Structures are given as C-alpha cells and as structure tokens.
Chain A
Amino acid sequence: MKKIVISVLGQDRPGILAAVSRILFEQDCNIENVHQTILQSEFSGIFIAAIPDEMSVDLLHLELSRSVEPLELHVHVKLLGNNQPDQTFDDSELFVLTARGPDRKGLVAAITEIIARHGANVTNLKAIFRGGDNPSDNIMIYEVDIPAHTDHQTLYSELREKAASLGLEISIQHRRIFEALNRI
C-alpha cells in the first residue's frame, strides 16, 4: 500500500474539499488524515491518503490539478516513504507557550529559534498579529513537545530573556493545566 500527501493552497471558497475528495474517491484512494485551516482569506489543506499500488503519483497530481483549476488552487502531491521519521519523542511532554506584546518583525523567528536549538518540536502554532502595541492584539500560542532530556530551566530562561528583550509577556505551562481547568 502506497501513501501520498497532498497539499492544497489558495483563496478560500465553497467546494474545495468536495473537489479534492471527489477525485480521490474516483481514483480509489482512501483518505486517512485531513487537516484544513483558513488564515484570513486563504485556504490551506493537507491530506494523507492510501492509493492503489499500481497508481502513478504524477497522474493523480494531474487529475487533481485539473479538477481544482477552476478554483484557482495550487496542488502539491508527494509520495510518502515507508520509513517516515517519527518527530514525536519517546519520553516527552507537551507544553503550551504563550507570548503577547507589541507587534514587530521577527517575533516568531526569535521564539522558534530557541525552541529549535533545544531540540523541542512545535506541534501546533497559532499566531495573530493585528499590529500595534496592545498585547491582546498580538498573540502567539505554541504547543511544544519538549523531550525529557532537554534542560527545561535553560530553555525557559532563554525564552524569558528573549521575550523580555522584545517586550513580550511569556508563559510556559504544561498542557494538562488547560485540560484540567476547561474540560470535564
């Protein structure tokens, strides 16, 4: 069984998912995962599907491109290897990092550089910058998978130092606290 990953990008409008999933169905492909998001007016979707062994990936790409052309979308298709490196760590915990403060260029770059250097993996990021100096208008929420062997204290203090130099309020909390407070 072969697997492919398809990414679809373009201006959001009704019918994008319908168009992509219809082609996959007609080509006897089985969708395993889908995630879509809309940022401002732009649609982005990522699909992982199992396809028949004899199917050509280029052909499928062609079919998909043709079907979404009227919707002015870009499609990218890639074959997934059998031995995908697993980015989740055996022994790690999920933390939520939130930063708020005045908008300026380079905020995401500054924070993610430190996270990356410590070998932690961002599993989800939502950032909204409406501009200006009001902290509640400029928010970054990262979900970060931090391996157990990472030196948490150094990571935290580097993040806090960087946040202070950028005028950001930062908090780093284990994910479980948000679940405990908000969910039954």
Chain B
Amino acid sequence: MLTEKEILTTLEMVQNEHLDVRTVTLGISLFDCVSDDLERFMANIHGKITRLADNLVSTCDRVGEKYGIPVVNKRISVSPIAVAGALFSPAQMIKIAKILDRAAEDMGVDFIGGFSALVEKGIAKGDRSLIEAIPQALAQTNRVCASVNVASTRAGINMDAVLLMGHTIKQAAALTAEQDGLACAKLCVFANIPEDIPFMAGAYLGIGEADAVINVGVSGPGVVKKAIDRALNSDPDMDLGQLSELIKRTAYKVTRVGELLGGEVAHQLGIRFGVVDLSLAPTPNVGDSVGEIFQSLGLLNIGVPGTTAALALINDAVKKGGAFASSHVGGLSGAFVPVSEDLKISAAVESGHLSIEKLEAMTSVCSVGLDMIPIPGDTSAETLAGIIADEMAIGVINKKTTATRIIPVPGKKAGEQAHFGGLLGGSVILPINNEKGDNLFIRRGGRIPAPIHSLNN
C-alpha cells in the first residue's frame, strides 16, 4: 500500500516543482538511406523518419498522461549527416537540412539533431561540405540542430577545425542578424561528444548505435532546489556532505521518472530503450533554474567565489543519484549552465556576478560547457576560435565532454540585450576581454596532440 507521504510528495514535485520528462528523443540511423542520387537519398530519409517517428508524439503524450508527468519535448536525432551524406556538396547539404526540417515538422517535433560532423582528427570531404553548409542550413530551417566534434581526449584538438568553426559561427550569426544570431543557438562545437545525447542542440545518433533507439532526458532543477530549501528549513545546520546526499537522493527520484516513462514509450513503439540522461537543464521559467540552487546552497549569487566548488558538488551528486536510478545512464548527465536559458544565470550576468572567464572555470566541473552565451557581434572569428580552443582543452585534458554554444549577436555590444525567444531565452551580452589584435596561435592550425594520461597533476 502506498503511504500518504509518498503520494503527496510526488504530487508536490509534479505540480509545484516542474518535475517532468524534459525530452524523449528518438534516434534514427540514416545509414541505410544512403544513395548517390540526392533526390533518392532525401526521399529515403523522409520516408524512414516519418515511418519510425509516426507515433512518437502521440505515444509520449499518452504515456505522460498515464503517469501524470508531462513529456515536454519530443525530438529526433539522426546519424551524422557528414557521414551519411559524405558524397554531397555544400549546396546539396543545405537541401538535406531542409528535408530533415520538413520531416521534423511533419512529425510534430520541435528539434531534430544530427546535422553533424566528427572532425577531431581530420576533416573529410563530407565533413567540409557539411560545415560549409551549416550557416545557410541553420538560417533556412527552424528545427535542425548542428554539432561538430573538433576534439577528443584520444585525438587531441583539431585546430584547423576550431578556426573553421569560428568563421562558421560568424557566418551563421550574420545570416540571422535580424533574430540576434539565432542560428548560432542551434550550433554546438564539442570535445568528446557522447553518441547518445537526448538534449538539443548536441543530439545526434552515434555511429555505434542501433537502427533506432529511444533516449530520454530528464531535468528537475526546481525539484532539487525545493528539496534543499525544505531540508535547510527543518535543519539549518546541514553540512555540505549532508546536502550532497540530499541532492543525490533527489536526482535518484527524478531519474526514476525518466527510466519508467522512457521504458514504456520505447516498449509501446517497439524500439529499444537506450539511456537516461539526467541533466539539470533549466528553462527560462520561474522555479526552473539551476542558478537558484546555488543561492539555496548559501551563495550570494551564481558567479561569486565558491561557485565552482558548489557546481562540482551539484554535478557529482546528480551523477551519483542518476547512475543508481537508471540501468543505463548516458548523454551529458550532470548540470547545465546555459546563460540565456536560465533566469537566475542571466540575472547574475546582468548584476555583474558572472563573467565569461568564471563560466569557463565552471565548465571544468559542469557537464557541458560555455552554453548559450551571447557576446558582442564584432567579436572576430579568431577570437571565437580562441574561446572554443580554450574550452576544448578543458574537455580533452580532463577526459570530459565540453562544448561551446556562443552567439556573436550582430550589431550589438556588451551590455545590450539579446533575445532568442522560447526555450532559448535571452540575456544581456557578455563582454570579451583581451580580444584585440591578431591571434597567430590560432591561425597556425594543425593539431594539438592528445594528452598523456600518466604523470597526472
């Protein structure tokens, strides 16, 4: 028999603390769609996506209603297009992006990921075509997300690709200048990209994955914050070890929801269940902020000294709780700190507590990287590449995933507001220091070798 407490705390989490399944992402392999005829390739892609995803949205809604937990987003990830469409030119790649966009629209999903290339060790013909196509592809579509992996712990950092991405981001911003560079919000540059991320914009279906797979992203920063507040209310003297334990238990509960609903959606669709990605992923809504957790833990604001330590504690506790709750944990699992998507984080930038340098330090212990950061529109491609290279180095050396999703907002300066709308939110534009002048280091190109992993310090 269920206890009254079990029922009422669960209701509280759903009704007042934003407990939900943030995304159910259907991964679809496109390798069996390959053809040297573009029209046929595109028809195959559209046919396979619409066949497999036909019941995705209705099934998610039905399962969500059964358990009283909404599945907020339904998404699709596909094989990296740079591999599946390696034959095609940049102009043809743009057409492929449009067919992905149409398939996503036909299926009623808000984002489709996988307009992606893996170039950590070298850039092949298909990779170059795809990267060249990215600015137009993202500007001319609404739902397509792109990602490029430019570094890994085993390969090092491909600095040619890093510089290329600096230029690509600039072009993408210029093509969507009217929308504050919106295309860049759909473009991630990665080190050590996982093959099974359900969250956008980095989702794609890895080469080692099955033909189709259901991956689930659960969130719940509001649940974690309220749990901390309640615990500290009844015992204000809790130490950080006890708070870590509390976050762990809360993360366990949140992950169980994803495991249950994801498993049922997969079963009903007859598709294998892949992983649960438990990431504290905020939205620009009150009570759904990662930034608020820092204040609940006792920091004046996110960004003040102590922030990196607090984030390390949160990230680790979330991973531990999530790992115990799910049979297969994957994706990014941890805490996201996307500036424009989190009311408290963007407010901390505006009040001067949080700078891009502090954000970079935080990414050495968070689960992703420099995420959704608007910067001045006149930032050069080389400076952008420099920021990317720094972020990739953190990932490569620390054997973790890092990424950048930076938006140089055309025509706007530091201190002005950028608006991206919807889940992407908005934020004041952060200044970039020390950016003036040439950056010969970045222009040298080549590959920064893979690091040694003995002699650690």
Contact = CB atoms under 8 A, between A and B. Distances in A.
A180 B14 contact: no
Contacts of A169: 15
Contacts of A176: 67, 260
A143 B2 CA distance: 9
B4 A126 contact: yes
A181 B256 contact: yes
A178 B6 contact: yes
Contact of A175 (B2, B8, B9, B69): B2
Given A173-B68, A177-B68, A178-B2, A98 B253 contact: no
A182 B253 CA distance: 7
Nearest to B69: A177
B257 interface: yes
Interface string B14-51: 11000000000000000000000000000000000000
B253 A171 contact: no
Name which of B9, B14, B68 has the most chain A CB atoms within 10 A of its CB. B68
Contacts of A181: 6, 10, 13, 253, 256-257
A126 B4 CA distance: 8
Interface residues of A, number: 21
Name which of A139, A143, A178 has the most chain B CB atoms within 10 A of its CB. A178
A177 B68 CA distance: 9
A184 B402 CA distance: 33
A171 B11 contact: yes
A165 to B, nearest CB: 20
Contacts of B253: 181-182
Interface residues of B, number: 22
Contacts of A180: 256-257, 259-260
Interface string A119-147: 00000101000000000000101010000
Contact of A177 (B1, B15, B67): B67
Contacts of B9: 182
Interface string B247-282: 000000100110110000000000000000000000
A7 B7 CA distance: 29
A141 B7 contact: yes
Given A180-B260, A181-B256, A98 B11 contact: yes
Interface string A149-175: 000000010000000000001011111
B66 interface: yes
B10 A124 contact: no
A79 B15 CA distance: 47
B260 A98 contact: no
Contacts of B65: 156
* 6 closest cross-chain pairs (CB), A and B: A173-B68, A182-B6, A177-B67, A180-B256, A180-B260, A181-B253
Interface of A: 96, 98, 124, 126, 139, 141, 143, 156, 169, 171-182
22 contacts: A96-B2, A96-B7, A98-B11, A124-B1, A139-B8, A141-B4, A141-B7, A143-B2, A173-B66, A174-B66, A174-B67, A176-B260, A177-B10, A177-B68, A177-B69, A177-B257, A178-B10, A180-B256, A180-B260, A181-B6, A182-B9, A182-B253
